[in-house]
Structure 1
Amino acid sequence: MLPDSYVSIDDSRWPLQVVKFVGSATLRQHEQVMEGMTARLRRRERHLSLIDLSQGGIPTAEQRQRYVLWIQENEALMREVLLGMALVINSPAMRLAVSTVMHLKPLPVPYFIASWELDAAAWSIAHLEDQGLRPHAERLRSQYGLTGRLDAGGTARSA
């Protein structure tokens, strides 16, 4: 049985890294996520992150500030290997919390905010394909059960 709050980092769909927050994560859990993301950046393998905050609690001011610092510390490495970030946010309060972080330190990579994981996955897949990683995009499209494709701007177009 899982605890009331947890964070999972799933690399099984690499180069799409899926991070899911459930409940109000502790400061230690937030630190573990940042440590994991830093380790993946240091591998210097191009990838995308899909961060699902749809079931997560609102981060505290301390946690938001720590994210700002993490982005500052890892900006160059993010630009080098992180192709983009898709965020799943379905509450106005979480959207405000994320907007606060992005206002203090904008993400140095393309990003997309969706209300549903499938929409975030579709954007991520289109972005992978636009970056020349078509075999990965096709595999992920199949895994997510998506047909056709969206371009990285979110516009539908045929496969």
Structure 2
Amino acid sequence: IMGDWAAGYMMTTLGLEPGVGFGYAPSPGTSGMFIWLSDSFGHPVGAPNPAVTDAWLTVLGSVEGQNAFNPLKGSIPARIDAVGAAPDLYNTYLQDAAADWASNDLAGSLAHGVAANERFMNDFNEVMNIFLASGDANATVQAMQAVCLQDAACGF
């Protein structure tokens, strides 16, 4: 299971067409759900050339910047007006992804830090490794509940 970067690699680097050179489908059990993360570019504190950084961020935030970046990366733009401004840049995969984003329930990626902090992810991975070694589902559930509470990642 890969993210949209894999589509970008196959389309941009390998020159493959979605649905012809490679296929795509939602992860099993996620029908009606769009698992997302956001590529981000920040403005570093103390950057030696803040005006250049501002200009870079302005380009990235523009329709033109997102239409230059996203089709090559294999992702949909953050701006909702970008695809409509240049629909020919967005192939079948990207059009499908944009439609799914607009119509599905959104869930932040656990693996990429959207849904939980890094401490939780480290502890989560440790508990899963113990489960893989032991096969003890009850102990794993108890350990995950403890990790969730300890790392303030539960939402309750």
Say which structure is richer in helix: 2
TM superposition score normalised by structure 2: 0.29
More strand by share: 1
Higher relative contact order (CA 8 A, sep 6+): 2
User: What TM-score results when the alignment is normalised by the length of structure 1?
Assistant: 0.29
Which structure has the greater CA radius of gyration? 2
